[in-house]
Amino acid sequence: MRMTPDAPSSPRSAILLVNLGTPDAPTAPAVRRYLAEFLHDHRVVSLTRWLWCPILHFIILPLRGPKVAHKYASIWMDGGSPLAVHTRGLAEAMQAQRPDVRVAWAMRYGNPSIASVVDALRAEGVRDIVVLPLYPQYSTTTTASVQDAIDRVARAHADTRFRVVHDYHVDAGWVAAVADSIRAHWAAHGRADRLLFSFHGIPQRLVNAGDPYERQSRASVDAIVAALGLAPDEALLTFQSRFGREPWLQPYTDETLKALAGQGVKTIDVVCPGFAVDCLETLEEISVENDALFREAGGQALRYIPCLNASDAHAAALAGVVAALPGARA
C-alpha cells in the first residue's frame, strides 16, 4: 500500500476508501482479467455458475475485452485509469484533512485488493478500520459486495474492528458539495436548457426484490435540486449503463437524450452524482457516446459536469460521513 502524505507514523485506526475497480492497463488481456473477476461476483450476476461461466469466458470476455480496452485507452491518464487516479487523489486529500488516522484506498475488483490493503494496514499496527464504499447510494450490487469482501477479511482477523458505511445519499455535506459543483459549472459556462442527473442502472427485478438503490437515487436528486433552489420539475433523473436484455431502471439516459433532442432541447447539462470519481462510465459513456447520440438526434451540446473527484470539498464531506458513523473511532 502506497503511503499518503502526512499520515500518522503509528496509527491505530484507519479509513479505507473502496471503489469498484479498474483494469491494470488499457489492454484486452488486462480488461478480460478485470471483467472476469467483476462478473464472477454473484452480487453482479446471479445466474447459476454452470450456466454463466461458459457464457462469460467463451462469449462475453472474448468479444467485450478488446472493445472495452479501446474505450479505456481513450481516457487513460498518465497515472493510470481515471478511477484509480482520482480515488488515490481523494485518499490523499482526506489524509491531509485527517492527519490523525491512516487513510487508504482499495478496489473491490482488481488492484489494490481489499485484502492486500488490510494486510498492509495491520502491518502498520492498525486495528480499527472504518470502510467507506465510494457509492453514495446503497445497492446489493455494490455496497453489499464490499460488505461481503470485508466479512471475509474480518473472519481472518478477529483482532481488527471493521465498520462499513452503508450509504451517504442525503448527507448534508455531500449534497452541498455536489450542488456547489453544479453552481460552479453554471458560473463558468452558463446554464443549459435542461439539467439531467444520470445514475448507473441496475436490473428492475432487484428493486422489485427490495434493493433501495432507486429510492435512494431519487432522494439524492431531490436533495441536490432543493439545495440548488430549483423546482422539482427543473431536473430529470435517468439511468445509464444497462447490460443484457432484461428491463433495468428507467427512464434510460440514452433514450431520454434522444427524446429531448427531438423535442427541440439544444443544450443539456449532465451530472452523475452516483459516481464518486470520474471513470469509464462518465468520461466515455456520457461525455463521448451520449454526447454523440444527443448531437445526432438534433441537440447542439451535452456539457458533462465532472464528479467531485479529489476536491477538498469532497474530502471534507466524506470525512464528515465517517465522523458521523455511530461508534466510529476514525
**Which residues fall in the annotated binding site?**
200, 281
Chain segment 41-81, per-residue pLDDT in tens: 999 988 887 788 999 898 999 999 999 999 999 999 999 99
pLDDT of 1 strictly over 80: no
pLDDT of the residue at 237: 98
pLDDT of the residue at 6: 53
Task: Give the start-to-end residue ranges of the domains of the chain.
Answer: 13-168+311-323, 172-305
97 vs 105: CA distance, rounded Å: 15
- Closest by CA to 305, choosing from 265, 274, 272, 266, is 272
pLDDT of the residue at 102: 97
Determine the topology of domain 172-305 in CATH.
Rossmann fold (3.40.50)
Entry pTM: 0.94
Chain segment 270-297, per-residue pLDDT in tens: 999 999 999 999 999 999 999 999 999 9
Q: What percent of the chain has pLDDT over 70?
A: 96
Q: What is the dotted CATH code of the domain comprising 13-168+311-323?
A: 3.40.50.1400
322 vs 14: CA distance, rounded Å: 11
Q: What percent of the chain has pLDDT over 90?
A: 89
On the question of a common fold for 13-168+311-323 and 172-305, the answer reads: yes
Q: Roughly what angle, to the nearest 10 degrees, separates helices 172-189 and 213-228?
A: 60
Chain segment 78-108, per-residue pLDDT in tens: 999 999 999 999 999 999 999 999 999 999 9
198 vs 238: CA distance, rounded Å: 5
**Which residues fall in the annotated binding site for Fe(2+)?**
200, 281
17 vs 8: CA distance, rounded Å: 17
Burial of residue 49 (number of CB atoms within 10 Å: 0-12, 13-18, 19+) = exposed
Cβ count within 10 A of residue 13:
20
